[in-house]
Amino acid sequence: MRRSESRRAELVRAIVHGNGDDTALVSHDGWLLRGNGEVPAILVATERAVHVIDTRTRDAAVCSYHRLLRFDCRDQRTDVLVGLSCYMGSTPTAARVALGRELLPNEVSNYRLRLPRGGDWAPVRERIVAGMAQGGIPAELHRVAALV
């Protein structure tokens, strides 16, 4: 492993651990899509959660699988567009969904990323799919329009 790759891995591990997640991780570099621009970002999937790291600021959003409402991905030539939707409310996710009312905008955070296809994308995707399968989000939430 090259020195820069080693430093990147250490940085990612430190941020993820700082979020309280010490499980095994896989990651893939790409760009977080914000408004009309993109910022360099890293999508990290652990056994417990998904982390989106802004590499410029080192800020990270974290969403455990029992709060991950949507995970969409769409191939686009050499890239993959990824959409994540996370429940951020204070009521446990299953209880909130059981109420039968639509989620409010302040209860949901959405993230869109553009990632190069290939490389570490497949293991990241597989880890997120496996985590969602264990997360217990009701299937009806996955029937809404895709984020990407």
Domains of the chain: 3-133 (2.30.29.30)
- Is residue 138 pLDDT above 70, yes or no? no
Q: What is the pLDDT of residue 144?
A: 59
Residues in the chain: 148
High-pLDDT (> 90) share of the chain, %: 60
Output 92 or 65, whichever has higher pLDDT.
65
- What 3-state class would DSSP assign to 142? helix
Q: What is the pLDDT of residue 1?
A: 52
Q: What is the pLDDT of residue 148?
A: 63
> How many C-beta neighbours within 10 Å does residue 98 have?
11
- Is residue 35 pLDDT above 90, yes or no? no
Which residue, 42, 39, 130, 30, is CA-closest to 80?
30
pTM for the full predicted model: 0.89
43 contacts: CB under 8 Å, gap ≥ 6:
27, 28, 30, 50, 51, 52, 82, 113, 115, 124
Helix and strand numbers, DSSP H then E, in the chain: 3, 7
2 contacts: CB under 8 Å, gap ≥ 6:
none
Output 40 or 104, whichever has higher pLDDT.
40
pLDDT digits (tens, 9 = 90+) for 112-134: 999 998 878 999 999 999 998 88
User: Rounded to the nearest 5 degrees, what angle is found at the Cα of 137, between the Cα atoms of 144 and 142?
Assistant: 15
Rounded CA-CA distance 89/52 in Å is 19
User: 96 pLDDT band (50/70/90 cuts)?
Assistant: confident
Output 51 or 148, whichever has higher pLDDT.
51
What average pLDDT does the segment 64-72 reach?
A: 91
